[in-house]
Amino acid sequence: MARNGGLFLDFGPIIPSIPYILKGIGVTIQIVAVSALLGFFLGIILSLFKISRIKALQWFGDAYTSIFRGTPLILQLMIIYYGLPQIIGYEISAYMASIMAFGLNSGAYVSEVIRAGIEAIDKGQREAAMALGVPYGQMMKDIILPQALKNILPALMNEFITLTKESALVSVIGVLDIMRRSYIVGGEHYSFFPPMLVAGVIYYLMVMGLTLLGKALERRMKRSD
């Protein structure tokens, strides 16, 4: 056992608990994946609101984005988990509250990414489609959005990576993710540095894996052009 600056660096006692920490990977992936999916579809809707000619929709899209980007994610998580049940009269599980908070927050960021992607498409394509009588909805679905999503893939992957790192916040409301499990192990052994370091390595490997996946997808998209 080594002691440095008041921190125990003995990893031996926590080795049997590493499988317990690793089980948190599945929980983290579930929360991130479902939240990212929710944020993606919400982002599409909000981005269409922002470029709409209807002022009320523009206002809603801009206000939504301003609120969720302008307040801390942990505050949004706390409001949904602790505050919302007092309003609706029903308890919300920590798992569901996490998905709601991360999905709603991600939607605000994704909407800006998609909006920028749509506006980057040559306006001539929209004008040509409208001149040919293509309905607005079909034009967006079949012509504009596919091109925009292809161009913004790297930005979407960055958002997915950000969600993965920020998912550690769910530990504060008791979700048994990687972070929460490492904290529990630390409490059991009265030594927090070793399990926290294990959690850090897990998060790092997950982020690096997603980074490599994003680069591979980007290369594949370039080859298909």
List, as one string, the DSSP characters of 6-71. TEE---GGGGGGHHHHHTHHHHHHHHHHHHHHHHHHHHHHHHHHHT-S-HHHHHHHHHHHHHHHHS
Largest CA distance in the chain: 76
Helix (H) or strand (E) holding 3: strand 3-4
CA distance 139 to 48: 12
Which CATH number is associated with domain 15-224? Answer: 1.10.3720.10
Structure tokens at 159: 């958002």
The 8-class DSSP code of residue 164 comes to H
Query: What residue segments make up the domains of the chain, in order of their start?
Result: 15-224
- Packing angle, helices 193-224 and 24-50, rounded to 10: 50
Enter the DSSP assignment of 174: T
Report pTM: 0.87
Tell me the one-letter amino acid at 80. Answer: I
The confidence score (pLDDT) of residue 142 equals 79
Tell me the C-alpha to C-alpha distance, in Å, between residue 167 and each of 68, 99, 119, 149, 203.
Answer: 16, 10, 31, 24, 10
Tell me what pLDDT residue 176 has: 94
Give the pLDDT means over successive 10-residue stretches in the chain (225 positions).
53 89 96 96 94 93 97 97 94 96 97 89 78 79 80 89 95 95 92 92 96 86 70
- pLDDT score at 6: 44
